[in-house]
Amino acid sequence: MIDFSVVGSDTFAGKIIRLPFRFLPRGMTVPILQGPLRGKKWILGSQRHAFWLGGYETRMQTLMARELKKGRTFYDIGANVGFYTLLGSFCVAPGTVFAFEPLPANVEFLKRHLSINHVKNVQVLQLAISDQIGTAKFRAEPTGAMGQLNSSGDVDVNMSTIDNLLALREILPPDCVKMDIEGAECKALIGARACFQQHKPVLFLATHGKEIHDRCCDLLRSWKYKVEIITRETPDRSDMIATPT
């Protein structure tokens, strides 16, 4: 797969490459051009162009598609507008995907992506996942990609823990989990302690900040997980896979 992200959008070459995309109408449906989701439908303007071009997190896509098996249960925690939800839905079918996303605008695009691709095996939960149950402030940002739980946020969202949702039988135990929640990952893992210790799902995790990264690694290792770095974009941003030993 071609990784379009290697030519940064802030470089001259990157700006030239991306110039034609400005003339594409927002809301238009296009096919994803490459990768495991090749041929599936995507809505322009729902997220940046790398998603439908197929150059978004290419290594992560490949590894996740390899790990997800038919009939399994997949959690997409921080589902955003549904890229990995779609990937999971086609890989695990007739298994089930639970997509967790708190931001209303993202949830709307997520549901539209499921609809235009005729996906029936996904349950969308409009929730932030953390170590507490209740409501919280969520700080959104213009792209919709990097919002986070924050006491100074401008959006009120519902919040729960994975362990609570499992105890209430609102979700099935997972075989695989993807988590990308902009700095709240350690709290979310703490709120899923029983899930990871009992069900031992494989975890694809994005960490934000060195301290949070180290805390997540220590926590996972204490649960007898092996941690392997997939990519490290910056000292503060890492993608990893954690597998039970």
List, for residues 144-199, the tens digit of each pLDDT value.
556 667 767 778 899 999 999 999 999 999 999 999 998 899 999 999 999 999 99
Q: What is the pTM of this model?
A: 0.88
Query: Residue 187 and residue 129: Cα distance in Å, rounded?
Result: 8
3 within some domain: no
Is residue 82, in this structure, part of any structural domain at all?
Answer: yes
Looking at residues 16-41, what average pLDDT do you find? Answer: 80
CATH number for the domain harbouring residue 91: 3.40.50.150
**pLDDT band at 9, cuts 50/70/90?**
low
Residue 29 domain-assigned (yes or no)? no
Q: How many domains are there within the chain?
A: 1
Residue type, 183: G
Q: Which of 99, 189, 102, 161 is closest to 137 using CA atoms?
A: 102
Tokens of 188: 């979310």
What is the model's pLDDT at position 232?
A: 84
- What local confidence, expressed as pLDDT, does residue 133 receive? 96
Residue 12 domain-assigned (yes or no): no
Residue 14 lies inside a defined structural domain of this protein: no
Q: Determine the structural domain holding residue 239 and report its residue range.
A: 57-244
Residue 62 lies in a domain: yes
From first CA to last CA, the distance across the chain in angstroms is 31
CA proximity to 84, closest of 105, 108, 103, 68: 68
Determine, yes or no, domain membership for 44: no
Residue 207 lies in a domain: yes
Residue 19 reports pLDDT greater than 60: no
